[in-house]
């Protein structure tokens, strides 16, 4: 919890610093925002170890259906990458590019999740 507070303060301090530069040197504000985003992303990557432990625990409950876990991880990765990229584009003033990245991410998540949908439909049909 303490680390989350530190990251929150880092984000606020970075935004305040970027706002100071935005009026005189807007390109510096973009660089500061990008740098702070990378620092926060690096913190999130460090937390992956704890997530992997929980996913291993979840794998024990799946009994041979680890493919669903792989799909879940793929969908989570797509979501984070698209949100991160779209956020940077928005900060740089390219809202249209950010929107297109988000649309692409939604389509990628939909296509990645289709095997799960097919498995559910197959299960429903087996009960009929």
Taking alpha carbons only, the member of 21, 47, 41 closest to residue 32 is 21
Confidence grade of residue 96 (pLDDT, cut at 50, 70, 90): very high
Q: Are 14 and 32 in contact (CB under 8 A)?
A: yes
What does pTM read for this prediction? 0.64
For 113-122, write each residue's pLDDT tens digit.
Answer: 898 888 889 8
Three-state secondary structure of 31-89: HHHHHHHHHHHHHHHHCHHHHHHHHHHHHHHHCCCHHHHHHHHHHHHHHHHHHHHHHHH
Highest mean pLDDT among 26-35, 59-68, 81-90, 94-103: 94-103
Taking alpha carbons only, the member of 39, 31, 30, 47 closest to residue 11 is 39
């Amino acid at each position: 919890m303490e680390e989350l507070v530190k990251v929150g303060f880092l984000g606020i301090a970075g935004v305040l610093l970027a706002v100071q530069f935005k009026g005189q040197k807007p390109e510096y504000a973009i660089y500061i925002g990008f740098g702070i985003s990378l620092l926060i992303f690096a913190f999130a990557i460090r937390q992956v170890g704890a997530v992997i432990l929980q996913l291993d625990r979840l794998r024990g409950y799946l009994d041979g259906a680890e493919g669903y876990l792989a799909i879940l991880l793929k969908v989570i990765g797509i979501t984070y990458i698209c949100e991160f990229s779209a956020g940077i584009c928005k900060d740089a003033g390219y809202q249209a590019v950010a929107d297109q990245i988000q649309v692409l991410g939604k389509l990628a998540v939909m296509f990645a999740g289709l095997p799960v949908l097919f498995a559910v439909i197959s299960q429903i049909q087996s009960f009929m």
